[in-house]
Amino acid sequence: MIWMWWALGIIIALLILLLITPIRLDVTYWHNGDDDQLTIKITVWKVISKTIEVPVIAIDKESPSLVFKEEVKGAGGDKEYIRKETPNELVEQVRELNRWLQQIVGLHRIARRFLKHVKVKRFNWSSSLGAGDASTTGWLSGLIWSIKGSMAGLLSSYLTLKCIPELKVDPIFQGWASKTHLECMVTLQLGHAIFAGILVVRHTKGEFSSLFVKHRRSESHKKEA
């Protein structure tokens, strides 16, 4: 009988450990002209980590498709995923997403409750741009400042800020330029994400999972790096 209590105690301890598991997300986005790179690093308990680089987008020369390439780096080795999507498939996915979004009237409260548990520890966003002439460059710089200010406001409204966002816009009046560098670090507990996920599934009656069903015509392959 004692072993049953021990087993029950271990199960409860594991559940509590799972719920309080801290997760850190380090997101880095770099853009320079035609080059883009998005890197997401997921760290659990400051020990287990996985790095995802997504997406490298190119035009497939053999078919009218966009090629999405992502690399996943973790303890189990490096993996590379390549997926092709035709314009029709992308449009269909957008329609499916729009159809689902029309049904999430009641999800706003769930999202706000969850996002308030997400803590932003670092948010740095710097950009350099030039449009070839001073007037256009100045106008675009003001527009970028407005967009960044709005995003910083959204962050403070929905998430818990633990830092002061560092925003920077450098206008380049001497020629053409398009550069941006974004660094963001957020932390959350796995329990909050699990609870929010359960509420979303209950509210949408499981339809949320349909967004992740890939089309039959999509091509995907994986190779070990």
The residue-averaged pLDDT of 86-113 equals 68
Residue at 2 is within a domain: no
Half-sphere exposure of 148 (CA within 13 A, CB side): 19
Residue at 26 is within a domain: yes
Rounded Cα–Cα distance for residues 188 and 192 (Å): 8
Q: Of residues 80 and 219, which shows the higher confidence score?
A: 80
Is residue 210 over pLDDT 70? no
Residue at 56 is within a domain: no
Residue at 139 is within a domain: yes
The residue-averaged pLDDT of 6-30 equals 90
Give me the number of domains the chain comprises.
1
Residue at 205 is within a domain: yes
Angle between helices 134-158 and 107-115 (to 10 degrees): 90
Burial (CB < 10 A; 0-12, 13-18, 19+), residue 183, is middle
pTM of the complete model:
0.69
Rounded Cα–Cα distance for residues 180 and 193 (Å): 30
Residue at 35 is within a domain: yes
Structure-token pair, residue 138: 């100045």
Is residue 2 over pLDDT 90? no
Rounded Cα–Cα distance for residues 8 and 123 (Å): 42
Structure-token pair, residue 88: 């029709």
Residue at 87 is within a domain: no
Domain boundaries, position 210: 22-51+97-224
The residue-averaged pLDDT of 178-183 equals 92
